[in-house]
């Protein structure tokens, strides 16, 4: 049983009747330890009463209708020291209920007596730091962007994962799967259950893409009956052909809803966007054709065409400053959706687009743009896969005969003259063109620095790489210049080597939404689908034969 003075204190604190002392024959003398304890309790009692008064003041402030904004400002600006009132958090998790006031009272008590809540202190520290770093300047808003403008972070999976449906849907499917395992009975889903399943699948599909190929629809339907075998269709050879057809209709209806909500990836194909006289839904459908993950993303939250255009205009001056790469990168990331909208909707000329977006035509930004679109790191992926396949590719080249074999042998001569990695990669890439029955000179054109006619010839190039060499240069010597030309415009230069220029050219085809030239379509298909492993499930006959050989 606690001492009497603690009982009296508890009675006063909690409103219970005070302790009634019993009559004693002789008074008990108080020891020094007891007197010290009584003194400490008296001090604590005064401190608690003082703190209770403060808490009551905060409770009263909650009843004032116009005080919320002022309290938020004071809570952000006031330092959290022992000599200042403790602000009460009014975040979204804290309402005006008595329960929340009680929580704040416990926090106040623990802080006043020196027992701080570590989690609470950490949250306060974060909030304080953010308030100190926040600002109203245009630059700060750009640099403090909390999220990337990319709306998707992963490509279409190799194996589609069927999501969990609603509770009642999962309950029905679990019982039906158990019955199927026990007796082999198939489930005949009613309209409500089938609609719930299709809606769940459509919502999962949209996280990857809005336009699916026939094989991708088949993958989803197959994954569905593998996870829920009770949904197999008895009249179907595959067991899921009906589900595949239903998914196509469901996703079409889902795209209609997205179009009404203004999803840019769908509205870009609205009839009002079609040319006059060609208002057919099937005409020139703009959708990912090279396994783009973020083909035409939505604007970042809170941004409009006007605000992003302001950032684009500011970017024109920022790109001319020195040592400003980080800020330019942040601004380019934030305007990604606006840039993709221009590229997809308007298909501008390269010269005009370079004038509007000069920052894009730098090596670092080309790589970053490729990553935003495909979620892949360009250089590491390209060169690691190219080097991994080089030995088998060289073996395949050596087996070629006839005219192709002679061309490949002449291309491979520099490998025997130098140990340069860049020379080896260049020979492998040029040999790939010949192996696929295409002309490597359509991809890479070499000029001599003394050739005065090179300028006019380069201006006629639509899609390719130029290499400037000195007269009499050896195979291992570095070229004078390596660059890329699109529509007669030199968009990149000083790339150092042909393999690096090929990687940049592939990335520019994605960044500018360009189609591969017909005379190099198999070469770039192999680079995209075998080297970069983008959309590797759909291959042409030539590229499929090459991939089969590489996988042996």
Task: Quickly list DSSP for 142-174.
Answer: HHT--S-S-S--S---SS--PPP--HHHHHHHH
Residues 98 and 50 in one domain: yes
Q: How far apart are CA 513 and CA 347, in angstroms?
A: 8
Q: How far apart are CA 342 and CA 360, in angstroms?
A: 13
Alpha-carbon torsion, ordered 400, 406, 409, 413, to 10 deg: -170
Residues 321 and 451 in one domain: no
Please tell me the total count of domains within the chain.
Answer: 4
Residue 331 domain-assigned (yes or no): yes
Residues 400 and 263 in one domain: no
Q: How far apart are CA 236 and CA 102, in angstroms?
A: 63
* Last-in-domain residue among 223, 256, 273: 273
* Last-in-domain residue among 89, 110, 134: 134
Alpha-carbon torsion, ordered 273, 275, 279, 284, to 10 deg: -80
Residue 144 domain-assigned (yes or no): no
Residues 383 and 328 in one domain: no
Please, what are the averages of pLDDT over each run of 10 residues along the chain (552 residues)? 52 51 50 63 67 62 49 43 40 42 40 37 37 36 40 83 94 95 93 94 92 92 95 90 94 89 82 64 76 92 94 95 93 96 93 96 96 95 96 94 92 92 96 96 89 80 93 82 95 96 97 96 97 91 94 87
Residues 10 and 113 in one domain: yes
Residues spanned by the domain of 80: 4-19+34-134
CB neighbour class for 346 (10 Å; exposed up to 12, middle 13-18, buried from 19): exposed
3-state secondary structure of 448: strand
Q: How far apart are CA 397 and CA 391, in angstroms?
A: 10
How many C-beta atoms lie closer than 10 Å to residue 504's C-beta? 25
Length in residues, the chain:
552
Residues 338 and 200 in one domain: no
Q: Which residues contact 156 (CB under 8 A, 6 or more apart)?
A: 208, 209, 216, 291
Q: How far apart are CA 552 and CA 544, in angstroms?
A: 13
pLDDT value of residue 545: 95
Residue 300 domain-assigned (yes or no): no
Residues 386 and 446 in one domain: yes
Residue 292 domain-assigned (yes or no): no
pLDDT value of residue 97: 42
* Last-in-domain residue among 273, 291, 325: 273
Closest CA to 448 of 421, 481, 399: 481
Residues 382 and 498 in one domain: yes
Residues 400 and 533 in one domain: yes
Residue 511 domain-assigned (yes or no): yes
Residue 294 domain-assigned (yes or no): no
pLDDT value of residue 532: 96
Residues 501 and 414 in one domain: yes
Residue 24 domain-assigned (yes or no): no
Q: How far apart are CA 529 and CA 538, in angstroms?
A: 8
Global confidence as pTM: 0.69
Residues 534 and 488 in one domain: yes
Give the DSSP letter of residue 408.
H
Q: Which helix (H) or strand (E) holds 428?
A: helix 421-435
Q: How far apart are CA 362 and CA 166, in angstroms?
A: 48
3-state secondary structure of 209: coil
3-state secondary structure of 464: strand
Q: Which residues contact 412 (CB under 8 A, 6 or more apart)?
A: 394, 397, 427, 431
Residues 482 and 420 in one domain: yes
Residue 408 domain-assigned (yes or no): yes
In the β-sheet with 444-448, what is the strand arrangement from edge to edge?
Answer: 444-448, 463-469, 481-486, 489-492
Q: Which helix (H) or strand (E) holds 109?
A: helix 98-112
Q: Which helix (H) or strand (E) holds 484?
A: strand 481-486
């Amino acid at each position: 049983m606690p001492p009497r003075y603690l009982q009296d204190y508890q009675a006063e604190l909690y409103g219970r009747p005070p302790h009634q002392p019993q009559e004693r024959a002789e008074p008990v003398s108080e020891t020094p330890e007891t007197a010290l304890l009584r003194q400490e309790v008296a001090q604590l009692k005064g401190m608690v009463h003082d703190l209770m008064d403060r808490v009551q003041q905060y409770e009263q402030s909650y009843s004032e209708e116009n005080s919320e904004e002022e309290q938020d400002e004071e809570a952000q600006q006031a330092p959290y020291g022992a000599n200042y009132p403790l602000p009460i958090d009014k975040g979204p998790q804290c309402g005006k209920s008595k329960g929340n006031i009680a929580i704040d009272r416990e926090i106040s008590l623990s802080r006043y007596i020196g027992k701080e809540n570590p989690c609470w202190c950490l949250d306060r520290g974060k909030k304080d730091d953010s308030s100190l770093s926040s600002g109203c300047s245009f630059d700060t808003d750009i640099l403090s962007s909390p999220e990337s403008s990319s709306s998707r972070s992963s490509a279409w999976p190799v194996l589609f994962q069927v999501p969990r449906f609603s509770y009642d849907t999962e309950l029905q499917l679990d019982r039906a799967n158990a019955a199927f395992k026990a007796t082999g009975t198939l489930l005949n889903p009613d309209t409500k259950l089938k609609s719930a399943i299709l809606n769940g699948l459509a919502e999962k599909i949209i996280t990857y893409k809005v336009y699916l190929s026939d094989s991708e629809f088949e993958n989803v339907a197959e994954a569905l009956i593998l996870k829920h075998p009770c949904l197999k269709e008895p009249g179907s050879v595959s067991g899921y052909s009906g589900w595949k057809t239903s998914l196509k209709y469901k996703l079409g209806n889902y795209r209609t809803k997205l179009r009404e909500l203004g999803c840019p990836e769908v509205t870009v194909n609205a009839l009002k966007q079609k040319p006059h006289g060609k208002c057919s839904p099937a005409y020139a459908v703009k959708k990912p054709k090279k396994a783009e993950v973020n083909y035409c993303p939505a604007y970042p939250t809170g941004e409009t065409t006007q605000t992003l255009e302001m950032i684009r205009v500011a970017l024109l001056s920022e790109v001319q400053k020195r040592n400003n790469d980080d800020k330019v990168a942040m601004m380019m990331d934030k305007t990604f959706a606006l840039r993709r909208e221009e590229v997809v909707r308007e298909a501008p000329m390269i010269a005009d687009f370079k004038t509007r977006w000069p920052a894009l035509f730098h090596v670092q930004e080309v790589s970053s743009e490729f990553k935003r679109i495909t979620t892949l790191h360009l250089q590491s992926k390209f060169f690691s896969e190219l080097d991994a396949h080089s030995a088998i590719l060289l073996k395949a080249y050596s087996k070629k005969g006839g005219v192709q074999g002679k061309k490949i042998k002449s291309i491979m001569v520099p490998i025997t003259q130098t140990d340069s990695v860049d020379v080896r990669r260049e020979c492998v890439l040029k040999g790939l063109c010949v192996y696929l029955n295409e002309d490597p000179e359509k991809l890479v054109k070499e000029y001599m620095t003394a050739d005065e006619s090179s300028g006019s010839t380069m201006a006629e190039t639509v899609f390719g790489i130029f290499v400037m060499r000195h007269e009499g240069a050896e195979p291992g010597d570095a070229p004078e210049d390596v660059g890329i030309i699109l529509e007669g415009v030199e968009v990149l230069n000083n790339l150092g080597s042909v393999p690096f220029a090929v990687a940049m050219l592939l990335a520019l085809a994605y960044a500018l939404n360009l189609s591969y030239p017909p005379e190099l379509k198999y070469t770039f298909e192999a680079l995209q689908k075998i080297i970069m492993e983008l959309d590797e499930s759909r291959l042409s006959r030539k590229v499929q034969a090459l991939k089969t050989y590489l996988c042996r």
